[in-house]
Structure 1
Amino acid sequence: MCRDWKGYDVELTVVMPCLNEAETVEVCVRKALACMEEHGIEGEVLIADNGSTDGSQQLARDAGARVVHVDAKGYGNALMGGIRAARGKYVIMGDADDSYDFTGLLPFVEQLREGADLVMGNRFKGGIAPGAMPPLHRYLGNPVLSFVGRLFFPSAIGDFHCGLRGFRRESILRLGLQTGGMEFASEMVVKSTLQGLDVREVPTTLSPDGRSRPPHLRSWRDGWRHLRFLLLYSPKWLFFIPGLALMLVGLVAGTALTFGPVRIGELAFDVDTLVGASAMVVIGFQAALFALFTKVYAAEEGFLPESPRVRKLISIVTLEKGLVVGGLLALAGLIGLVMSLVHWQVRSFGELDPRESLRLVVPAATAFIMSFQTIFASLFISILGIRRSRETPIDYAAKAAEEAAEAVTREDSSTH
């Protein structure tokens, strides 16, 4: 086989996070090494030990693995420590509990050789043995979270949380993965998708693990951490879509109620509902603004790739235009308040019927609130859009010294 992994000691590193896996780590290591030997893959098995106290480290060494200790606790931290220490061009990660098939690594390697950056295993296509996955995970947790991942991000991956996956080491290191817990699995898929990496999927199997103790996974806690991560990396679904829905419902209801009560069958909606509709508009507008803030900030800091649509919107909606729109909304609110004062004057500044007066005051107050939201948002987005220089004071000093030296050289040349 042609050696096309120059710059690396081996072609493949199989990384297994380990925390007290004495019952299964040895068989996992032997299976992975046997698979590589069978298919002529030059590789190694690396155990990323996260503080085992049951002798897992020595068992792994005896089976032929290299062991590195990772101080930072957590599934993601252990894997990142292993990935950084890997000597292979490609990395395949998998749990050391004997639930994944380390004898079936070849499909992952073949896809990586063909140019894939990330190759996910799909347990639902490959087969899940009876008792290998709790019903809660099989029929609710994994399908729902995978569906949410495909909905929020342009991904076709059917099994977001399969622990057996292969990738190009350099490609994954460039992503700057940061989560230290179980949500590391979601972060890898999400960031790979957002950065436009070549992500593929191959069938794999899942068997009951060989441990006698309970797994480290905590269903509801870790499921929530996965969902929270997916939401935080999708401002569109976290802020914009809920906010837009609230705004539309509030605007429709508020517009109808401004002109009088609305009856739907036996239900009567009046000014109390108008106040609720106003609140929906304000909250929805604020949520939409938060979506914009998040996208701009995340792009500036490198958490999310820059969105051309958001960048175009910011170039169109400048600070000056935002101030103008905010001013117009404030003017509309002022006109509404003046009209309410006139209405009060007509009543000789006496007691008012709330069903009449609130139809003027509530829309006016809403316009005022949105005017200041618009002005403050324009100012804040302008601040976020200021690109900070990456040069340090030392860089400035070096540049100044270099420019001064060049000036002296030019003076000497002109003198001679």
Structure 2
Amino acid sequence: MRTIRPMSTVVVVELTILMPCLNEAETLATCITKALGYLERSGIAGEVLIADNGSTDGSQRIATDLGARVVDVAEKGYGSALIGGIDSALGEYVIMGDADDSYDFSELDGFVERLRAGDDLVMGNRFLGGIEPGAMPPLHKYLGNPVLSTIGRFLFHSPIKDFHCGLRGFNRRIIQELHLQTTGMEFASEMVVKSTLGGRRVSEVPTTLKKDGRSRPPHLRSWRDGWRHLRFLLIFSPRWLFLIPGASAFFLGLVGTLALAFGPVTIGGAGFSELSQLYLAALTVVGYQAVLFAILTKIYAQHEGFRIPRSRNFDRLEKRISLESAALVGIGMFLVGVLIAGTQLVEWASIGFGALDASAAFRAATPAALMMMLGAQTVMGGMFLGVLKVGLKRS
């Protein structure tokens, strides 16, 4: 539950300068003073809004005494604080930034200019604007931020080169339409990814990063929060994480398994036979599971509104996939395996259940077992799809 401490009524607010806050008493006053000074200097009708996430150091009183508005956000997390602040903001545009005095709230003209020009999300780029000595740990400067931003650009075709800059501006209504949901530091990536996938106008402006003014360590935890960003980027792109690797493994494994069913194969002096067939069959199962998982993940994401916009091709595929169709296909695959196994049983019976040619029997049994496993996976995948498609009343 959030409560809003009222301030003087503003008829029209163009800009909200939003700062998430958790025990920022050392630097909060400096940030608010700069932000209020910018609003006065630029003549913009605006407000300074502090989204407090449970401070115990008097940050709330500092903010209200300086004329800022405070909204209390009970749910913990960087993303939670910002979502609460965005929902409470009065401005048409919002510029958000950390309250640790690492960003200069008195220099926001570039953001306002791009927002007024119609951009929906305007990101700061610290690598273009400059990073003062000691402002960013080498691990973040040379590895974390460049690598994660490159992955994000590749997976989502985003023009943004600094995914994790804390200073950014956006059209409040447009961002609310994206239904941002992550509560932690990965909120920064979610905003960029969803804006890009939604076809929103995004841009960057040079931003200077300086060493923050706090005496305590930052809330950010390098490895934990870096992993959360990477995990979000990968899960939000099941095509690259599951579908393409899974489909490659599936077809390679299946072709190899079936080829070796007719006898050993030699490629470049290397011989492949029963042992290779067993491992290829396992690769087929793993690849097929990855493909199923990619499809089910995408369907779940589509239903929950994670992926924007919806893919028309995938919508058509989704309409053709059902519990019943998956069950029919899966049962058919399973019966193929049973038919092969039955043929082997008849052959075994014809020799009085005596000793079989172990090599030939293994080469035939492996595809049979593979088809039965794939068939069972397909049936269970269809059942899970049926669960996803059950209509539920949402509060």
Shift of 1:165: 0.5
- Bigger-Rg structure (1/2): 1
Q: Distance in 1 between matches of 2:358 and 2:66?
A: 82
Given that 1:282 and 1:369 are in contact with CA atoms closer than 8 Å, whether structure 2 keeps it comes out as yes
SS at structure 2 position matched to 1:155? coil
- Given candidates 163, 166, 179, the residue that maps to 1:163 is 166
Shift of 1:281: 1.0
> Which amino acid in the other structure matches residue 113 of structure 2?
E
Q: Distance in 1 between matches of 2:240 and 2:190?
A: 17
- Is residue 309 of structure 1 aligned with residue 313 of structure 2? yes
Gaps of 5+ in 1: 1-6, 393-416
Shift of 1:220: 0.5
Shift of 1:97: 0.8
Q: Distance in 2 between matches of 1:194 and 1:184?
A: 15
Shift of 1:338: 3.1
Shift of 1:221: 0.6
- The corresponding residue for 2:338 is 334
Q: Distance in 2 between matches of 1:353 and 1:332?
A: 22
- The corresponding residue for 1:103 is 106
SS at structure 1 position matched to 2:173? helix
- Is residue 174 of structure 1 aligned with residue 201 of structure 2? no
- The corresponding residue for 1:194 is 197
> Which amino acid in the other structure matches residue 359 of structure 1?
R
- Is residue 55 of structure 1 aligned with residue 58 of structure 2? yes
Shift of 1:142: 0.9
> Which amino acid in the other structure matches residue 359 of structure 2?
R
Shift of 1:328: 4.2
Percent identity at matched positions? 58
- Given candidates 135, 139, 143, the residue that maps to 1:140 is 143
- Is residue 217 of structure 1 aligned with residue 248 of structure 2? no
Q: Distance in 2 between matches of 1:8 and 1:250?
A: 66
Change (3 A) 1:207 1:221: same
TM-score, normalised on structure 2?
0.89
Shift of 1:259: 2.4
Per-residue CA distance 1:95-115 (angstroms, 9 max, x = gap): 011111212211111111111
- The corresponding residue for 1:412 is none
Per-residue CA distance 1:253-312 (angstroms, 9 max, x = gap): 323322223445675432122112112112211221121122222222323243211111
SS at structure 1 position matched to 2:92? strand
Change (3 A) 1:245 1:45: same
- The corresponding residue for 1:43 is 46
**Comparing 260-269 with 233-242, which one deviates more in the overlay?**
260-269
Shift of 1:323: 5.2
Q: Distance in 2 between matches of 1:68 and 1:222?
A: 25
Q: Distance in 2 between matches of 1:356 and 1:301?
A: 50
- Given candidates 53, 57, 75, the residue that maps to 1:72 is 75
> Which amino acid in the other structure matches residue 109 of structure 1?
V
- Is residue 270 of structure 1 aligned with residue 292 of structure 2? no
- The corresponding residue for 1:34 is 37
**Comparing 203-212 with 228-237, which one deviates more in the overlay?**
228-237
Given that 1:328 and 1:371 are in contact with CA atoms closer than 8 Å, whether structure 2 keeps it comes out as yes
- Given candidates 358, 374, 377, the residue that maps to 1:370 is 374
Residues matched between the structures, number: 385
Task: Report the RMSD for the aligned CA atoms in angstroms.
Answer: 2.5
> Which amino acid in the other structure matches residue 153 of structure 1?
F
TM-score, normalised on structure 1?
0.85
Q: Distance in 2 between matches of 1:323 and 1:224?
A: 37
Gaps of 5+ in 2: 1-9
